[in-house]
Amino acid sequence: MRNSVTRYLIFFQYTGTKYCGVMKIPADRAVQGVGNHLESAVGKLKPVNKFSVVISSRTDSGVHALCNSAHVDIQRSGDKPPLPEHVLVDALNFHLKEEAIRTLDINAMQEAASLLLGTHDFSTFRASSADMHLKNPVKTLDQIQLEPGVSFSQRHFYRDVRFWELTFKSRSFLYKQVRRMTGALVAVGHGRLSVSQMQELLEARDSRAFPTTMTAPAHGLFLTRVQYSDTDLGTCVLDEQLFK
């Protein structure tokens, strides 16, 4: 005698960076939804019924979730009893571990970052703009710092999700210079760009040499502070007095 179908309510979380959203999409697409991976994990439990994971809340491409929910109906073969809650959770987590985000090569990123420190012609790392001919492409990059960061959401994740912070410090930046440097360094970390190729980009001194698809999106980008030297502040006071 077969067991009846048992319905389970599942709570799950995800970083949505590499997914096209939470909903399941056709399997022939290059980028999958979170739902595809959930259903794949349930399938590995070998239910005898035809099932589908019904997700409660839709999220768009790239959106993360600290807690989403879904339900699924599972029927086990023969006279096997329904799966206990903790067994279902452990089993699904085991099969979903394969979808962990690939770790960056931090050493390679730090080596590439060191090439950008100091005074250089950063023409390659600026995007075209109407006033670019008025801007001196020579800038001095005083600091590039790559270190583990802490996201406000990190304490809510039940797995070790690594966040990395890139900090750039300079008196001024060119248009999209920070986003291009960030994108290039991430490409190095993922092995899509070598350290020597980073050097070649810098030496090219040509904005057209930079792959436009490598520019980091304006996500997670912060202006942290603006600093003034005593000389800067003194000049401001003097200018103010002149206009009185």
* pTM of the predicted model over 0.75: no
Backbone angles phi, psi at 168, to 5 degrees: -115, 140
- The per-residue pLDDT for range 151-174, each reduced to its tens digit, is 766 777 777 777 889 999 999 999
pLDDT of 23 > 90? The answer is yes
Place of tokens 């930046």: 173
pLDDT of 220 > 90? The answer is no
Per cent of the chain over pLDDT 90 is 61
pLDDT of 99: 54
CA 78 – CA 2 distance, rounded (Å): 5
Give the torsion sign (CA, 10, 1, 46, 84): positive
pLDDT of 66: 87
Average pLDDT (18-40) is 90
pLDDT of 133: 84
Mean pLDDT of the chain: 88
pLDDT of 98: 56
Question: What is the enclosing helix (H) or strand (E) of 38?
Answer: helix 34-43
Residue 119: which pLDDT band, with cuts at 50, 70 and 90? very high
CA 116 – CA 181 distance, rounded (Å): 9
Q: Which active-site residues does the annotation give?
A: 60
- The per-residue pLDDT for range 70-90, each reduced to its tens digit, is 999 999 988 889 999 999 999
pLDDT of 27: 79
Q: Residues 78-83: contacts with CB within 8 Å, 24+ apart? A: 78/2, 79/1, 79/2, 79/3, 80/3, 81/3, 82/3, 82/6, 83/6, 83/8, 83/45
pLDDT of 244: 40
Residue 242: which pLDDT band, with cuts at 50, 70 and 90? very low
Give SS3 for 95. helix
Average pLDDT (188-204) is 97
pLDDT of 228 > 60? The answer is yes
Question: Measuring CA to CA, which residue among 169, 172, 127, 171 is closest to residue 145?
Answer: 169
Average pLDDT (118-145) is 93
Question: Measuring CA to CA, which residue among 178, 190, 189, 170 is closest to residue 220?
Answer: 178
